[in-house]
Chains A and B, each alone.
Chain A
Amino acid sequence: DQQVKQNSPSLSVQEGRISILNCDYTNSMFDYFLWYKKYPAEGPTFLISISSIKDKNEDGRFTVFLNKSAKHLSLHIVPSQPGDSAVYFCAAGDSGGGADGLTFGKGTHLIIQP
């Protein structure tokens, strides 16, 4: 039972355009969400996060939108750059107790084409 779903295994976007990566979750206990970026042979790198009390968080070229009623979040990258080519993981957490390991989606491979 996958609690965090990234339904697009890959996404190809032209350089300079907007990249939109989507994520759905099923567990209502999740109250914060994070996006990580991963290059091959490296560990995930934190990009941006959002709490369930917000519907938008922005950091430079990266914006995360959260729709709680739909249990859906998205990451927007504008403008897309060649260095953005990587696998992007959506992750969710529950801050209600001491055990707060993150639940990850399967990832979306973003390819930025010149």
Chain B
Amino acid sequence: EAEVAQSPRYKITEKSQAVAFWCDPISGHATLYWYRQILGQGPELLVQFQDESVVDDSQLPKDRFSAERLKGVDSTLKIQPAELGDSAMYLCASSLTSGRSYNEQFFGPGTRLTVL
């Protein structure tokens, strides 16, 4: 069964360090999303890609966060420098396309980030 892959599953870092997360969407899925889920909250969208282009990054803290999907397949989310408030689960999701009535997004297992 096709799945969204993410690595690492867990990451512990000290504040002011740089961290990077990787996501490989389901094969053939043109749309890729990064969400952040703080404990006790629902996932919140950080950035959306359609192929290699950014569709929506309005909620991405661009002073420290960056995201890329250079070849329109896998994607990397980076935080530099990490802050204590960045501790959260970072979820990647993919879907066949965007703008459909039923935008079923498939989620990966997430990366749990702890900033000390």
Which residues in B have their C-beta under 8 angstroms from that of A31? 101
Determine which residue in A42, A98, A99, A101 has the highest number of CB atoms from chain B within 10 A of its CB, and name it: A101
Q: Mark B54-87, 1 if CB is under 8 A from A, else 0.
A: 0110000000000000000000000000000000
Is A97 touching B99 in the complex (CB atoms < 8 A)? yes
Among A37-52, those with CB < 8 Å from B are: 41-46, 49, 51
A57 to B56, CA, bound (A): 30
A27: interface (CB < 8 Å): no
A95 to B35, CA, bound (A): 18
A100: interface (CB < 8 Å): yes
Among B77-108, those with CB < 8 Å from A are: 91, 93, 98-108
Q: Taking the nearest CB of chain B, how far is it from the CB of A37, in angstroms?
A: 11
* CB nearest neighbor in A for B40: A106
A100 to B101, CA, bound (A): 10
Is A98 touching B50 in the complex (CB atoms < 8 A)? yes
Among B21-45, those with CB < 8 Å from A are: 33, 35, 40-45
A102 to B42, CA, bound (A): 10
A74 to B115, CA, bound (A): 37
A89 to B93, CA, bound (A): 15
Which residues in B have their C-beta under 8 angstroms from that of A32? 101-103
Is A49 touching B112 in the complex (CB atoms < 8 A)? no
Is A49 touching B45 in the complex (CB atoms < 8 A)? no
Is A44 touching B55 in the complex (CB atoms < 8 A)? no
- Given A4-B42, A101-B33: A46 and B105 interface contact (C-beta under 8 Å): yes
Determine which residue in B43, B48, B98, B112 has the highest number of CB atoms from chain A within 10 A of its CB, and name it: B43
A49 to B55, CA, bound (A): 23
A106 to B107, CA, bound (A): 17
Would you list 12 pairs from A and B whose C-beta atoms are within 8 A, ordered by A residue?
Answer: A41-B112, A42-B109, A43-B4, A43-B6, A43-B108, A51-B102, A95-B101, A98-B99, A99-B98, A102-B43, A102-B103, A103-B45
Residues of B within 8 A of A (CB): 4, 6, 33, 35, 40-45, 48, 50, 55-56, 91, 93, 98-110, 112
